[in-house]
Amino acid sequence: MAPSLDFSNWWPKDARKGTPVVVKMENPNYSVVEIDGPDAAFRPVEKSRGKNAKQVTWVLLLKAHRAVGCLAWIASLFWALLGTIKKRLIFRQDVAMASEKLGKGKLLFTVIKAFLVTSLTILAFEVVAYLKGWHYFRNPSLHIPRSTDIQGLLHLVYVTWLSVRADYIAPPIQALSKFCVALFLIQSVDRMILSLGCFWIKYKKIKPRIDGDPFKSDDVEGSAYEYPMVLVQIPMCNEREVYEQSISAVCQLDWPKDRLLVQVLDDSDDESIQYLIKAEVAKWNQKGVNIIYRHRLVRTGYKAGNLKSAMSCEYVQAYEFVAIFDADFQPNPDFLKQTVPHFKDNPDLGLVQARWTFVNKDENLLTRLQNINLCFHFEVEQQVNGVFLNFFGFNGTAGVWRIKALEESGGWLERTTVEDMDIAVRAHLNGWKFIFLNDVKVLCEVPESYEAYRKQQHRWHSGPMHLFRLCLPAIITCKIAIWKKANLILLFFLLRKLILPFYSFTLFCIILPLTMFVPEAELPVWVICYVPVFMSFLNILPSPKSFPFIVPYLLFENTMSVTKFNAMVSGLFQLGSSYEWVVTKKAGRSSESDLLASAEMESKIMNQLQIQRGASESELTELNRLKEQKEAAPVPVKRVNKIYRKELTLAFLLLTASVRSLLSAQGVHFYFLLFQGVTFLLVGLDLIGEQMS
């Protein structure tokens, strides 16, 4: 067949005119030409013009000029880059501004750096491969592996990994797991004993009681002389959301006005908040309440420094007891009448601690999980230690101290961030006894955001270890019973403050996930399932409504052990974050019944009390100005709860490892997975309801 010559692509196809003509010849011995149009055959052909040497020279000079300009631009760009690097790395200019801009995009910046390092590594490998001649497949020295060679190599690597895993990796993991399991069992026995003690207290109805009426309320004329002098302190720092409700609740305490003094200890560095608190204090002062506003010029020592500065006032010597409330606490009007009488005829009693109750415990899943822990802490740990040992850690608020006990124990010290636990330990070493009142409850808040809760837990777990280093010599040399020393060192500090976060982090966050890759070190089912679930049942008993959240509670506690372990290490070795205090963010919530009671009480006070002293025109002007500033203050916006990827990933990793270990037990994994599915269904409905509200 003769080759075809098709010239249809040499000109635009839309220029067709007329009818195509096809010429055919019989017995052709050459190709047939198809004419697509009548004008196509007669189109003139453009002839290329020849170029002389002068034109070629100008073209070459123009290209050389462009190349030189490109090189000059690259050189100037490289020089500017070197100048920027010199300013940022050597002279440290614009570093702060850049760090602020990169604060939110830190993760993206890390990914970019990792991609850059990977690209440079691959580029270096490609350069070496090119120089070695590996890119030529016809190179006789280049060996191209076949699929069988690759399979054999992978098999060899896998067999080597199995032998190394069984001989070198599994034995250390097994030894560490046995040690952690022993600690886990010791801590579980301690928690079980505390729970049995709580059951015994409930069964025998053991609780501190007040004999008779210590105030002789029938004698109206002389009743005021039976009331001791009480000092109430409200330490706060930039508490815009909760200052008003705390001051209002304290000023409504049912106690003779001439036997009560309220100290508002404000450490705020925001002048607008200072003005608002001053206005609130002035309002209650006009109603006849004996209240004082104090602001430190030198703010050192956090809360301990604030309380120490307030106790150094001369007028404090006239008072016998001091009650302390944090800024978000709202005591009932009869709080002092339920706590102070326990000191009568009990000269060895140094502290009366009340229980916390939470107004926002049902706000979200995080607050529900916190409520489980805190209910067990107060109803089991604090109550049992108070009944059987007369000692427990002071919670820093909602408690009444005998001022003599504070003074003989050394007062408030600024050496640690857990000043409440510090003064409790020193008072116990000086022979003072404590009472915990589980029936007296004070309303407060728990953190609603994970960020605030994590910072609070870091302080609560780093401070005790820092305090343990400071108090250990005093505990050893103190002249108290040996069993009290053993209780302080072994149980109070080591078991509940050091061993608990250590084994929880090591056993459930390191060893348990490793068992997925090292099955030779697999943990027994009773360590993974039975004992943790049983201990979780004991934790949830003080708050039975939280039973549907047992599985999220288990995962939450195990993943939070990362933060607690980090805090414990920083406090034990006095790292930089061991003396860090971040004020916990509050939302300023109050229940509807509390708001109605507060409004009713305030109206009753306004009707019964008369203003004892008039205010001048300048004072009224100042109060009006402060009131206007308060009304113009921005309303705090509720922050959406953040879910951190690290903790969430670790939680699902622990869940996967637990399920994998449970699959080996017949008849266990099905019920566990069924219970887990129902639980997460309830949690999902709870979160959906929260979002809809």
pLDDT of 447 > 50? The answer is yes
217 confidence band (pLDDT: 50, 70, 90): low
How much is the pLDDT for 35? 44
Q: How confident is the model at residue 52 (pLDDT cuts 50, 70, 90)?
A: low
DSSP conformation letters of 505-526 = HHIIIIIHHHTTT-GGGPPPHI
The pLDDT assigned to 581 comes to: 72
Q: Give the side-chain half-sphere CA count within 13 A for 334.
A: 4
- Judged against a pLDDT cut of 60, whether residue 5 lies above it is answered with no
Long-range contacts of 36-39 (CB under 8 A, 24+ apart): 36/8, 39/15
Q: Which of 266, 267, 326, 422 is catalytic?
A: 267
Domains and CATH numbers, the chain: 107-179+449-588+641-692 (no CATH), 230-446 (3.90.550.10)
Q: What local confidence, expressed as pLDDT, does residue 585 receive? A: 72
Q: What is the pLDDT of residues 9-27, one digit of tens each?
A: 444 444 454 555 444 555 5
Assign 3-class secondary structure to 615-651: CCHHHHHHHHHHHHHHHHCCCCCCCCCCCCHHHHHHH
Average pLDDT score over the chain: 78
Residue 622 has pLDDT above 90, yes or no: no
**Distance, CA of 246 to CA of 259 (rounded, Å):** 20
Neighbours of 6 (CB within 10 A): 10
With bands split at pLDDT 50, 70 and 90, how would you rate the model's confidence at 234? Answer: very high
CA 245 remoteness from chain centre: 26
Q: Which of 330-344, 345-359, 477-491, 647-661 has the lowest mean pLDDT?
A: 647-661
Catalytic entry in 266, 328, 420, 422: 420
Active site residue 213: no
Give the pLDDT confidence of 236-271 residue by residue, as tens digits. Answer: 998 888 899 999 999 999 999 999 999 999 999 889
The answer to whether 348 is a known catalytic residue is: no
Q: Which residues contact 394 (CB under 8 A, 6 or more apart)?
A: 351, 353, 420, 421, 423, 424, 434
- What's the order of all strands across the beta sheet hosting 349-358? 291-295, 260-266, 230-236, 321-324, 399-402, 349-358, 433-444
